[in-house]
Amino acid sequence: MNKEDQNIEWKESWRDEYIKWIAGFANANGGVLYIGKNDSGNAVGIANAAKLLEDIPNKVRDVLGILVEVNLLTEDSREIIEIKVDPYPYPINYKGEYHYRSGSTKQELKGVALNKFILQKSGKHWDGIPIPNLSVAELDTNAFENFKKRAKRSKRVNENILDDTVEVLLENLHLIDDNQLKKACSLLFYHNPEKFTTGAYIKIGFFESDSDLIYQDEIHGNLFDQVEKTMDLLLTKYMSAQIRYEGLARIEEYPYPEPALREALLNAVAHKDYASGIPIQISVYKDKLQIWNEGHLPLNWTLKTILMKHPSKPSNPDIANTFFRAGMIESWGRGISKIISECQKVNLPIPQYATDFGGLMITFSASESSEKSTEKSTEKSMEKSMGKSMGKIVGLIQENPNITIADLSKKVGITPNAIEKNLSKLKKQGKIERIGPDKGGYWKILN
């Protein structure tokens, strides 16, 4: 025991305000508060141990309404007090304040964090709260049809349920509570979720620098549409694909792998704090792409928990469950691992996570080659393929000086335009010469 952590706190002497720390342990995962130890964990002892053994349990009971175990210990011939605190299933307040133990610190919960804490203690999440003023008849039939098509492909929902009534489907997805639709339902299947939830949309912007916004878009509608429209905009408007050819096949390679971007976007949607009223924000630069969503990590998480790939439930489990049934995500807890592996496949840096600006941000960094212009990268790719193609072209001309561009295209396996570019380069290099007109002429090998 040489350092404080989420379950251990040291204090040299007792002060009544330390009841806040006891409340923090009770609201989190429990813990032990030692009185008579310095910040290094060394015993310094206390002079009034006998009195504290009597006072502390009574004060904690009177202020917090809970019972704690208080013990007298001896360490290095010095008396210290040990206060053991159990985790409580309901919120414990200290004079109207709610405190929570996170890591080796005590935090006072306020605003959105407090609302989330109280919901979790009651066994609910934000997206599971019922909405009194929304009926099944108001939901978007197109959104349901879209979900059914996805669910049939994924085979994660019984087809008999998919062919049944909307009410049966919503019951199966756990989107109805006491005959009232949940907030998750309004986000997933209502045409205008912002009627019930402010800021339930996505913003994308392309930045020259942090302060220089070039252009931007907003994506509204149900969450299914938001995810698809956002991915489409990222791939068609906000990122330039590098183009290469394998035979006649045209292959587009984006700076960041599409599966990783989609997974990061789905994570942002499932973990967003919708009570905040702030949209998900995606910032695209020439050398990086950032996805930020408002909200704190779940109360028992740390950033290390995410990066160590520990399985964890999303902040909005009803939304995540529906995405899972639709085949949009694989399973809880695997998203971060998938993002990392997809980036490693194409030799990109591992995305970085940060809890900045009151939310969670993931940053994708482009490779060194992607940071250069797309035109230059494409040119290099073309030159590499042309080197192989030119050798084939020269060999075919040697066999048949009268060969046509159409025949060269078929035998080399590239387009007629690509053949013409290769022939032009070979002529500039002084390797071939065209004798006579295009029709009726022939090719001559010079070198």
Share of the chain above pLDDT 90, in %: 50
Q: What is the mean pLDDT of residues 278-298?
A: 87
| In the predicted structure, residue 45 carries a pLDDT above the cut 50 | yes
Give 360's pLDDT tier (boundaries 50, 70, 90). confident
pLDDT at residue 367 greater than cutoff 60:
yes
Give the start-to-end residue ranges of the domains of the chain.
8-109, 128-195, 202-371, 378-445
* Residue 385: band (very low, low, confident or very high) from pLDDT cuts 50, 70, 90: very low
More confident site: 237 or 241: 237
The pLDDT, as a whole number, for residue 363 is 94
Q: What residues form DSSP beta bridges with 217?
A: 204
pLDDT at position 305? 52
User: Angle at the Cα of 406 (from 402 to 407), degrees rounded to 5?
Assistant: 60
**Residue 123 vs residue 258, higher pLDDT:** 258
Q: What is the pLDDT of residues 173-222, one digit of tens each?
A: 999 988 899 999 999 999 999 999 999 999 999 998 888 888 899 999 99
- 133-161 pLDDT per residue, tens: 899 999 999 999 999 999 999 999 998 99
pLDDT digits (tens, 9 = 90+) for 292-351: 998 655 544 455 555 544 445 677 889 989 999 998 887 655 677 888 889 999 899 989
For residue 19, pLDDT over 70 is answered with yes
Same fold, 8-109 and 378-445: no
**Residue 58: other Cβ atoms inside 10 A:** 10
Tell which CATH architecture fits domain 8-109: 2-Layer Sandwich (3.30)
Give 335 or 379, the one with higher predicted confidence: 335
**What pLDDT, on the 0 to 100 scale, is given for residue 298?**
52
User: CATH assignment of 378-445, given 1.10.1040.10, 1.10.10.10, 2.40.30.10, 3.60.20.10?
Assistant: 1.10.10.10
To the nearest whole number, what is the mean pLDDT of the chain? Answer: 85
Q: What backbone torsions phi and psi does residue 225 show, to the nearest 5 degrees?
A: -65, -40
pLDDT of residue 376: 47
Residue 332's pLDDT is 56
Which has the higher per-residue pLDDT, 139 or 381? 139
CB contact at 8 A, 206 and 286: no
Residue 62 φ/ψ, nearest 5 degrees? -70, -35
Predicted confidence band at 386 (pLDDT cuts at 50, 70, 90)?
A: low
pLDDT at 377: 38
CATH fold group of domain 202-371: Heat Shock Protein 90 (3.30.565)
- The vertex-228 CA angle with 226 and 230, nearest 5°, equals 65
Beta bridge partners, 292, equal 281, 361
